[in-house]
Amino acid sequence: MQNGITSASTRNPTRRLGLCLGLLAGLAMAVPAQADQSEQSDISWGGDLFAENCSECHMVPHDDGWFKARAEAGKMDSYQSLRTMVQGCVNNFGLPWFDEEVDAVTAWMNKTYYHFE
């Protein structure tokens, strides 16, 4: 008590703890929703990047059927091998991409064609 005034935290520490726990619970519930939205926008961005940078080579002769057949034949056997292939194209063609672009294109290709876990 200072100058005859007590703070709420001094009067009721249990209430303060409850407010903090409530705030933390609310934040924890918001993070997965943000992650889902972020993942969807990354996948969409990956499709845009693919269309702008990859489709000129990879849609002729590599159409949708080619990608699906490759996935079914097991030529690409994991998410990591798909990412390695995307990174290889980036390196071969000198694209000025960061990991985020590689990850976005990999996520889009996985969702569209390969369906790895």
Cα 96 from Cα 93, distance rounded (Å):
9
pLDDT digits (tens, 9 = 90+) for 4-52: 555 554 566 666 655 544 544 544 444 444 345 557 778 999 999 999 9
Tokens linked to 41: 């926008």
| Residue 78 covered by a domain | yes
DSSP string, the chain: -BTTB--HHHH-HHHHHHHHHHHHHHHHHHHHHHHHHHHHHHHHHHHHHHHHHTHHHHTTT--HHHHHHHHHTTSS-SHHHHHHHHHHHHHHHT----HHHHHHHHHHHIIIII---
Domain span holding position 56 = 39-114
Residue 54's nearest CA partner among 112, 100, 107, 109 is: 109
pTM above 0.85, yes or no: no
pLDDT attached to residue 12: 67
- Looking at per-residue pLDDT, the higher value among 107 and 8 belongs to 107
For residue 89, tell me if it sits in a domain: yes
pLDDT at 117 over 60: yes
Residue 61 pLDDT exceeds 70: no
Report the range of poorest mean pLDDT among 1-10, 36-45, 59-68, 94-103.
1-10
Count the domains in the chain. 1
Q: Higher pLDDT residue, 45 or 74?
A: 45
**Residue 60 belongs to some domain of the structure:** yes
